[in-house]
Every structure is written in structure tokens, then in C-alpha cells.
Amino acid sequence: MTQTAVNSAKVLYDLSVDRKDVNDAEDILSLTPVLKEVLECPVVSLDKKEKVIDDIFQKAKLSSVIANFIKEMCKVGNADELSDIFKAYHEYWDEKNHILRATVTSAKEMSQDEIKSIKDDIKKKYPDYTVELSENVDDSLLGGYVVKTKMEEYDKSFTWRLSQLERKMTGR
């Protein structure tokens, strides 16, 4: 992710664009690869790009602010960074709103009590944050779980424990 994408994301945030509008714009661009190609194509005139953006965003009933932002990105030649801008926006929004997103990967589906326990452990370490936890299942872990946040990774899997045991036994 470039500094331009990060800076543009902060501008988008400062424009008070609703997160839902950013999600919707992101969905439109990801679901219509032809639109993304048109916006990124230097051969297509800015007027045509702006007309396409206006048509699509009006039909989708999305904010004119996000439409104007995308037009501005086309104007300055940053349309190819829109995906990164949206990703950086989400990260910045989470930071400003004290949201910590974490993913727990386990060998099998976890119970609600196990998930609550993991959330509580994270919350103890980051008391000022609201923890949003998503789940994945990975059979290769054998057992246990791995928790990843933007800042850290906690590996409590059997695979990791076995590798630690192997290192101790072999002296590596």
C-alpha cells in the first residue's frame, strides 16, 4: 500500500463519508471489473469516466461525496489505487473508532465460550478497543488455535507446540 493510498484514505475519512458508502463503492468496483478497467484506462477521457461514475452511483443511490471522491482520484491519476485506498480507509476508520479486528484460526469450529474467552483475552490487552473476532477453520493445525490482529499473532496451536518441542529435543 502506497503513502498516496493512505493519505487519500485519510482525506476520505475527513470528508465524513459513511463506512457503508465506502463498502458499497468498494463492492461496485470489485463486482464490475470492467468499470475498474475503464476508470484506470488512460485512453478513456475524464468526461466519460465522470459520466459513468455519475450514472452508476446515482442508480445505486450512493453518496455524491464518494462519487466525487472517485472522480477526483480519476482526475489525479489514482484510480488504480482505489482498492488500496478503501482498505486503508477501513484500517484508519477502525483505528479512529477503536475497533480491533482479529481472526482466530482453529483446527475445528470453536464454541461460543471459547470465542468469548479469546475475545476477553484480547480485550484485557487492548482495553480501549472493541474487539471484532472472525473465525476460520484449518485442519492442518491438528488442534489449538492461532489469533492474528493487525499488531500481533498468538500461536496456541498444536503444530506450533510440536515444533517448539522438536527444537528443544534437537537443540536448534
Going along the chain from its start, the domains and CATH numbers come out as 3-91 (1.10.520), 98-170 (no CATH)
Q: Is the pLDDT of residue 115 over 80?
A: yes
- Tens-digit pLDDT profile for residues 69-87: 999 999 999 999 999 999 9
Name the nearest CA neighbour of 22 among 109, 75, 94, 120. 94
pLDDT of residue 49: 95
User: What pLDDT, on the 0 to 100 scale, is given for residue 78?
Assistant: 94
Residue 104 has pLDDT above 80, yes or no: yes
| Sign of torsion over alpha carbons 93, 70, 28, 2 | negative
CA–CA distance, 71 with 77 (Å, rounded to integer): 10
The tens digit of pLDDT for each residue in 116-163 reads 999 999 999 999 999 999 999 988 877 888 999 888 888 877 777 677
Question: What nine digits make up the cell of 152?
Answer: 500481533
* Whole-number pLDDT of residue 112: 93
Rounded to two decimals, the pTM is 0.79
